[in-house]
Structure 1
């Protein structure tokens, strides 16, 4: 669910907005224009009510308003800290053991606030480094490795199959989005939101191929749409020009 995997929550505004828009376009009868908005509002309220018990629990435990507990500040700092600076110290000063000691010493909420502050400060101080890191994470998210081209030549067969399957599925998903847009399909927007919106959380923190798992079914669906569209274009329709030119007919015609 969204609470256990909060990254999926990034899709909720887009999907709710699309559903409300579609319902509005379908309901054209007079007096029904606001039904779509009511339905979307009801869905949003239900989502909030599902999270409300955790918000109440967090207020009781932390004595402050914490809508949902999240480790996003820590993940942000893991991927954006002094270890990635142009003149980083060696050995690295930022280690897992050091962060665990700070966590238990400071407490969860102050620790997360401090991690967020340091991560944002690093991103502002090194914008060029941040652009390079985002590009590397983009490649790693969709291929499985930060340096797929170099690793492909020296890797064993298992890694090569992993790289090829990951890259081909990513490209196939992109072709699937293009096919839906070309057909002006109403489902182009919600399906495209998964591969276009969801990964950004990992582009700015840190990336791994397994982070694709929640959206993998949608990516494969887009691949199937792309393959179907290509096969449809490659298959001549019945009564094609070939039949007309050769004059072939069905037996007994």
Structure 2
């Protein structure tokens, strides 16, 4: 029986993001226990997720991308800048055109092109938008390991998957709980909550396949994934975690804790 480390990078990326999807489902499953979660707890979880993604963007993606660019004879700062900004622009374009509604907002504040989609669908699309760069990041990280360059390690890729899995819990809850409060059944609320995580394995496989075919763009792809994740943190997670003024300090400390934990995971496992 083969071990995880002996599998093809695409299979590793798929397995890792099936784990992150499962954690999203675990977060959505909270609807079977309650309709409500204390605002302080939810804001803390979202802040924690922001910290994890920020740390992962640097230690697991941007820093290895810069090191890899140097090893491959590229101009490191140029590769990093173009890739990082490219990821942010890519997410801004998706954000502009994909219909979605962030949790906790009224229908009048939906974003993207005009649509008649229901609120439940728009909520799922909002978290799906969030999960695209996460899945892409994991796929690119595992694909980069196959290049055999010192900057990319299997431990770092695993740390990234663990970190993203940890912060997926509040994402599943952030979709399922509002739907449950609006009167939707527990089963359907759970189904739609976990559905938002389905895009991660798809994005991971696509990302891994892409960089395996074009290894020369690996540094750019890592920095691109970092930029996409930072866009989500700044545009969505931090504002949502600090919407309640009285919880700002708590959410900020949770962000610090998430950053610290991801930093420890990446440094310890890389």
TM-score (normalised: structure 2): 0.26
Q: Relative CO higher for 1 or 2, CA cutoff 8 Å, sep ≥ 6?
A: 2
Query: Between Structure 1 and Structure 2, which shows a larger proportion of helix residues?
Result: 2
